[in-house]
Structure 1
């Protein structure tokens, strides 16, 4: 084992870790913002929205993330440059980078998987708790914000933790569209140093560490949100 290359590439790995965390954090945030209404509408209706939400979840869960990523990148990425005058606008510097397309693709993936999980979570909340909240005069929005959503999240926190870890382990796919996160940096190291095992082992160790951080974070949040049974 030869590790003399590590000091030279350590700054690039630090940048790769930061890019990985950005990709993961943004996709989880925006994905969950979509997953909650996607799960809720499947339980409450109306049926056209419920049907559309189910169809979306089926398509996302039924197709590989790599294909979704390429469709977004090569589809939208080739569409925007054809819009007249867009290259002269301020948003072109944003749209010509691969990172936003990766975030968008991962966001859709998170929304599809977690939307189905949230459907089961909303459905699993006892109706008696919702009826009690309505009985004391809560509005539908208050019932959702104070009772239904917290209870649903509490029920599926361990499942969400596992799904987000899977999303973390899927981030190396972003390297296929030139988003050089941790795995992408490891690939550069392998190409430039002709070392195969050491960069892969180092990248694997980083992902193990990030996974442990996610596990600790979700256990902390789970304990904070725990609601005693009465």
Structure 2
């Protein structure tokens, strides 16, 4: 797995993952009305969800097929094995990575650093002129964007929250959080007054 490209993968795959989650929610709603389709919808949901199995010595991470749109899975597997991670293609197009606990810890650390580096770029690149600071908790389930409120409300800087939400959800995915429990809360705080004037919850607000 080429972790140097991970943040780019996060941003490109994020819409696909959110779309898959939205589709699965719709299917589950239909299943509640028609019990005969419940098992089928559950199977479809499971095939799109990442899973992490933390054993005594090793960790298995299964990434859904939607994360590999447009990629050659044989190359994905070769790249992973070059990083010391065993990888196997599954019949549904997903890929299962098997690694030591220390390697999994290293992988999460690299993902974390990629997100932190991207946050720093958001703050300093000038692409989001209203953003003055971004803080977060250790699990990336909550971010606070400190902004110039007037500039923020008259710009497209809200897109920064999308990148934060996707990054937080991807970190949770690789950390083994149940897909039904992915939550990232983005607080928008006015630099001048310290008041939180907006709050965005991922993925809920993306599905409305």
Structure-1-length-normalised TM-score: 0.27
Higher strand proportion: 2
Higher helix proportion: 1
Structure-2-length-normalised TM-score: 0.29
